[in-house]
Amino acid sequence: MSDPLAGFLTTLDLVDTGARTDEDIFTGPSQWMPNGRVFGGQVLAQALIAATRTVDDDRSVHSLHGYFLRPGDASAGITFGVDRIHDGRSFSTRRTQAYQSGVPILSAIMSFQTEDEGLEHQAEMPTDLPQPEELPSAVEVLSAFSHPVAAVWARERAFDMRHIPSSVYMSVDGPREAKQAVWIRALGRLPDDPAVHRAALAYASDYSILEPVMRRHGVAWARPNFKMASLDHAMWWHRFARADEWLLYVQESPSASGGRGLSRGTIFDREGRLIATVAQEGMIRVGD
């Protein structure tokens, strides 16, 4: 892929088929992935865009709760059916199902709200962490390894990610703690449409959310016979921020058991505003 950011934006450019049953129907492409499976963040972002197309412009997403039901085929397109569950005076609720070969691969419910005023408080952003300019980029880290997946992650992702204390791509260095932070930013300028930035944040939130589980147990992505798959994903948008400006993704894992790991994360902008909260559980299997 010569332009990863353009490829990412192409996946969000869903086609309204004009078909109407009890759902609004959209279609979209899949991004190529080295393992042949649809990236979870991609289908989340597309499902959000599909739902956004069915609500009034003055309503923006504030929460998403989704389940990954089946592995998606990255060589095939995806059909999205949006059920307009409810439209109230301030809130709208939508269910989006993503289909391939006639069966759902994702089911998600999203809630949208008109802008409102009310009580405000937020968690504090950590202040003792290095800035993104002080850390190596994903390209700099991964270019040192002659591995086909490393090459894809270095050159074909639409987002730069800079890990604190260090990445877990090839090895896990430092203390075995179930926490980390990652600076994230799109590789170039995104359109000004706020819906695109919210979808981009949903997309990027899936990249590294389960890595605190891996860090705690010293498991790197490159470990042989290591398998991980997202099971569900929850996300809450608190304030707007551009996804093409640096955001700090602070992550921790409170538990791993039964072949599953749970992680949660908070996303801040550089001014310290809390932008979003994320939680995900995944299947994690470590072979011999």
Catalytic residue among 97, 206, 208, 263: 206
Pairing of strands 78-87, 59-68: unpaired
Q: Amino acid identity of 42?
A: Q
Residue 262 DSSP SS3: strand
Annotation marks residue 3 as catalytic? no
Catalytic residue among 46, 208, 230, 253: 230
Catalytic residue among 30, 97, 111, 280: 280
Cis peptide before 165 (omega within 30 of 0): yes
The CA distance from 258 to 285, in Å, is 10
Q: Amino acid identity of 112?
A: F
The CA distance from 91 to 175, in Å, is 44
If you ran DSSP here, which 8-state letter would residue 2 be given? -
Annotation marks residue 113 as catalytic? no
Q: Which of 97, 93, 65, 111 is nearest to 234 (CA)?
A: 65
Annotation marks residue 206 as catalytic? yes
The residues annotated with a catalytic role in the active site are 206, 230, 280
